[in-house]
Structure 1
Amino acid sequence: MKPDLNYADHLLVTLAEFRFELRKFLQFSENASIAADLQPQQHQLLLQVAGAAEGTPVTIAYAAIRLGLRHNSTVELVDRSEREDLIERTIDKNDKRRAILHVTRKGRQVLHKLSDDHVRELNEMAPRLVRALRRVQLHSSTSLAQEAL
């Protein structure tokens, strides 16, 4: 800890650095999506649909929760992605009222390329992200130790 900063100020510096590293990755991700002719939210939709745990019914409601969007916004995103042949909907065999989302072949191709790009970027950024996260953890541990006194 720098001697000229008190604990609270040092925590702010630490959180700011962590947030900066995260934002750099998010900016990379947004730019990579746009370069692949996708809106960033479409990339996130494809990732959440393709990356759902085995046996998880990927519905509009599921996608909305995973994306942090309202239901109607997710419907619009799925509609747009379906028009672009990235996502398809099928009727749920167990509940005919809901649709299950699937990534199309085209969607998987775009997603695989973006995923490769993201892994390369994360490998490059990993040391800085881990260092920033460890500093946050150190502050958390220090704070808990101070509270125990």
Structure 2
Amino acid sequence: MADSQPAAPRRKGGKEEGLDYAALAEFRYAIRKFLAFSEEAATQAGLTSQQHQALLTIKGVGAGAGISVGVLAQRLLIRQHTAVELVDRLERSDLVRRMPDAQDKRRVLVTLTGEGEKRLKQLSAVHLDELRAIGPTLADILATLQPAQS
């Protein structure tokens, strides 16, 4: 009679074949530590983490020309109306401004103000320092996740 239970994964050196839970757990921990660092840095700069992410997205994706609220919502994985409210708060704080799209007058683009640029630049500098500090650890973890060469 055939066994209806799936075969247990084969183990190699204490790890399930093809899965290294310890390395995955360490990678997840490193990501969470970075996100906690990022949230604290944003708070110290007088922003929420989501506001910081919005400024970075507007600057990085918009490449200076600005982005639509729809693109911002998509990149932040939030609903359109949530992105509108976020832009409203950023605009009241003089961190962003809305302007008509030069190519399509029906569209509105969001760009950073001078103050938004200044805050983002400060936050980006400390984030890059933190990434440089944790980079070797992440590289080590990722290297353990590479498939064994035959």
Give the alignment's TM-score, normalised by structure 2.
0.84
For 1:128, the equivalent position in structure 2 comes to 137
1:69–1:108: structure 2 CA closer, same or farther, 3 Å change rule? same
CA distance in structure 1 between the partners assigned to 2:26 and 2:92 by the alignment? 40
CA distance in structure 2 between the partners assigned to 1:31 and 1:92 by the alignment? 34
CA distance in structure 2 between the partners assigned to 1:94 and 1:6 by the alignment? 55
- 1:58-73 correspondence runs (5 A): 58-73=67-82
Larger Rg: 2
Q: Which runs of 5+ in 2 are unaligned?
A: 1-10
For 1:3, the equivalent position in structure 2 comes to 13
Q: Which runs of 5+ in 1 are unaligned?
A: none
Question: For 1:42, what is the secondary structure of its paired residue?
Answer: helix
CA distance in structure 2 between the partners assigned to 1:54 and 1:45 by the alignment? 13
List structure 1 segments (4+ residues) > 6 angstroms apart after TM superposition. none
CA distance in structure 2 between the partners assigned to 1:82 and 1:15 by the alignment? 40
**Cα RMSD, aligned residues only:** 2.2
1:70 to partner: Cα distance: 1.0
1:107 maps to which of 109, 116, 119: 116
Deviations 1:21-47 (A, max 9, x none): 111111100110001000101000000
CA distance in structure 2 between the partners assigned to 1:56 and 1:65 by the alignment? 18
Q: Percent identity?
A: 39
Structure number with the higher helix fraction is 1
1:56–1:13: structure 2 CA closer, same or farther, 3 Å change rule? farther
1:122 to partner: Cα distance: 0.8
- 1:1-149 correspondence runs (5 A): 3-7=13-17, 10-52=19-61, 54=63, 58-136=67-145, 138=146, 141-142=147-148
Question: For 1:52, what is the secondary structure of its paired residue?
Answer: helix
Give the alignment's TM-score, normalised by structure 1.
0.84
Q: How many residue pairs are counted as aligned between the two chains?
A: 140
Deviations 1:70-113 (A, max 9, x none): 11111111110000000100011222222111000001111111
- 40-49 or 10-19: bigger deviation: 10-19
1:57–1:33: structure 2 CA closer, same or farther, 3 Å change rule? closer
1:57–1:34: structure 2 CA closer, same or farther, 3 Å change rule? closer
1:89–1:33: structure 2 CA closer, same or farther, 3 Å change rule? same
